[in-house]
């Protein structure tokens, strides 16, 4: 048994929040976005036309402004009731966002959730 | 047997014969399945879930034998040994160990370590980077792993996304049949309209045997399928006049269909109906 990390869009954060109903086996997710803001231990990524997500970084996270990153992390509450964010476990730099067709990623998220059986165990 | 199988992996897979786990691995059964040289795009979860009908049988995914698999994931661990390199690959759906045999011919030709590094730098696999793996599902004891033909770095994220969608398409092909066949039953009339078109192949896809037959046999099959008729089907002469074809040709094509068991004769030898089951 190994850890599964479903690929999601910002709209799905709620579903993977620890407090959401159902004994979901994982709150660890993968998300793809462009780094649009960096401040101290927080960063913001923009996920195509699907909105922004706040990341809580690790001390050894190396993010660069304007780069496309894939984030593996846990869905968590932000301080001061600012909604949901992601506590980063790891990031992968994919370079220039222009080289990625975000529409394809949206389709990937759609396909991986619709035909779940080959991607993720039922929660 | 080994030669034919290993030709797939070139020199890289050449050392496979010396693997201690070979006795338990499914490759022994592969000799009888030479036609299945397909390279299937899969997820790691599908490999982990792959079933084996009996020990030493081929692994099956979605009920179909898999010869070689192709998947893309992140490299979580690299462990280099003298004879092989073992990678741990995680694609978000699961984790699997991948063993790539060190190409001894290649290693010999490069005497120094520096030479080796320079030669491999283009195809270097990085920790936590993405890699595309092609290989065969094997097992050693109770542990499942992939004997890799190739492990190559992935630099374009679209390649990863394309792979995921491809794996989904192939999964749906095996679980639901070729695209269009789901509708073909409901709209047999529409399929009949496209008798000579490319869509016809999918329309007839409900019966794979028909796909490889002569065009006339396909036409007759479509006609029998779409033409209003009673339980006894259609007479050869009726078919000949409807298709505007000489009766002798119809008879010959009919033989083809009868031989394959997709139609059967009803009242007499010349009256046919579709065999549906």
Identify from B64, B92, B171 which residue to disrupt to test chain A contact, counting A C-beta atoms within 10 A and taking the largest count. B92
Write down the CATH number for the domain with range B181-274. Answer: 1.10.10
Domain borders along chain A are 10-108
Q: Residue B25: its pLDDT value, please? A: 41
- Give the HSE-up count for residue B61: Cα atoms under 13 Å, Cβ half-sphere: 28
Residues of chain A with Cβ-Cβ distance to B161 below 8 Å are 101, 104-105, 107-108
Q: Name the pLDDT band for B33 (thresholds 50, 70, 90).
A: low
> How far is it, in rounded angstroms, from Cα B181 to Cα B191?
10
Q: Residue A90: its pLDDT value, please? A: 93
> How far is it, in rounded angstroms, from Cα B186 to Cα B199?
15
Using an 8 Å Cβ cutoff, are B273 and B231 in contact? Answer: yes
Question: How distant is the Cα of B161 from the closest Cα of chain A, in angstroms?
Answer: 6
Region of poorest pLDDT, from A15-19, A22-26, B129-133: A22-26
Mean pLDDT of chain A: 89
Residues of chain A with Cβ-Cβ distance to B164 below 8 Å are 108, 111-112
Higher pLDDT pick, A22 / B273: B273
What distance lies between CA B243 and its chain's CA centroid?
A: 36
Burial letters for B140-165: b for 16+ Cβ neighbours within 10 Å, e otherwise?
beeebbbbbbbbbebeebeebbbbbb
- Is residue A108 over pLDDT 90? yes
Question: How distant is the Cα of A80 from the closest Cα of chain B, in angstroms?
Answer: 31
Question: Which residues, 6+ apart, have CB-to-CB distance to B226 below 8 Å?
Answer: B188, B189, B191, B192
Region of poorest pLDDT, from B111-120, B137-146, B242-251: B111-120
Q: Name the pLDDT band for B38 (thresholds 50, 70, 90).
A: confident
Q: Are the beta carbons of B157 and A6 separated by less than 8 Å?
A: no
| Count of pairs with CB atoms under 8 A, one residue in A, one in B | 63
- CA neighbor of A77 nearest in space, from A31, A36, A20: A20
Write down the CATH number for the domain with range B2-176. Answer: 2.40.50.140
> How far is it, in rounded angstroms, from Cα B174 to Cα B8?
24
Architecture of domain A10-108: Beta Barrel (2.40)
Domain borders along chain B are 2-176, 181-274
Q: Are the beta carbons of B95 and A92 separated by less than 8 Å?
A: no
- Is residue B2 over pLDDT 60? no
């Amino acid at each position: 048994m190994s850890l599964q990390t479903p690929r999601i869009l910002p709209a799905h954060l709620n579903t993977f929040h620890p407090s959401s109903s159902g004994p979901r086996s994982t709150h660890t997710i993968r998300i793809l976005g462009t780094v649009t803001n960096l401040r101290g231990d927080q960063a913001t990524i923009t996920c195509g036309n699907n909105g922004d997500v706040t990341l809580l970084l690790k001390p050894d996270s190396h993010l660069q402004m304007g780069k496309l990153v894939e984030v593996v992390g846990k869905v968590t509450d932000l301080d001061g009731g600012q909604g949901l964010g992601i506590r980063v476990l790891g990031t992968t730099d994919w370079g220039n966002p222009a080289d990625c067709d975000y529409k394809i990623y949206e389709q990937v998220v759609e396909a991986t959730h619709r035909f779940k059986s080959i991607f993720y165990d039922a929660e | 047997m080994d030669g034919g199988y290993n030709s797939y992996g070139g020199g890289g897979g050449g050392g496979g014969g010396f693997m201690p786990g070979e006795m338990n691995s499914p490759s022994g059964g592969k000799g009888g399945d030479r036609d299945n040289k397909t390279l299937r795009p899969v997820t790691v979860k599908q490999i982990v879930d792959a079933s084996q009908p009996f020990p030493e049988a081929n692994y099956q995914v979605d009920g179909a034998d898999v010869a070689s698999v192709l998947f893309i994931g992140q490299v979580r661990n690299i462990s280099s040994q003298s004879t092989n390199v073992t990678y741990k690959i995680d694609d978000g759906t699961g984790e699997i160990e991948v063993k790539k045999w060190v190409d001894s011919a290649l290693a010999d030709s490069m005497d120094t370590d520096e030479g080796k590094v320079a030669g491999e730098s283009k195809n270097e696999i990085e920790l936590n980077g993405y890699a595309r793996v092609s290989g065969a599902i094997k097992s050693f004891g109770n542990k499942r792993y992939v004997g890799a033909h190739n492990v190559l770095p992935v630099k374009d994220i679209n390649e990863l996304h394309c792979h995921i969608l491809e794996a989904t398409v192939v999964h749906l092909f095996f679980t639901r049949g070729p695209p269009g066949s789901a509708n073909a039953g409901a709209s047999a009339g529409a399929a009949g309209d496209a008798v000579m078109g490319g869509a016809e192949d999918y329309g007839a896809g409900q019966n794979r045997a028909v796909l490889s037959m002569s065009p006339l046999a396909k036409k007759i099959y479509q006609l029998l399928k779409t033409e209003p008729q009673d339980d006894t089907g259609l007479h050869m002469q009726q078919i000949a006049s409807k298709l505007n074809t000489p009766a002798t040709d119809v008879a010959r094509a009919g033989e083809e269909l009868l031989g394959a068991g997709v139609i059967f004769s009803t009242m007499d030898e010349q009256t046919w109906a579709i065999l549906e089951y």
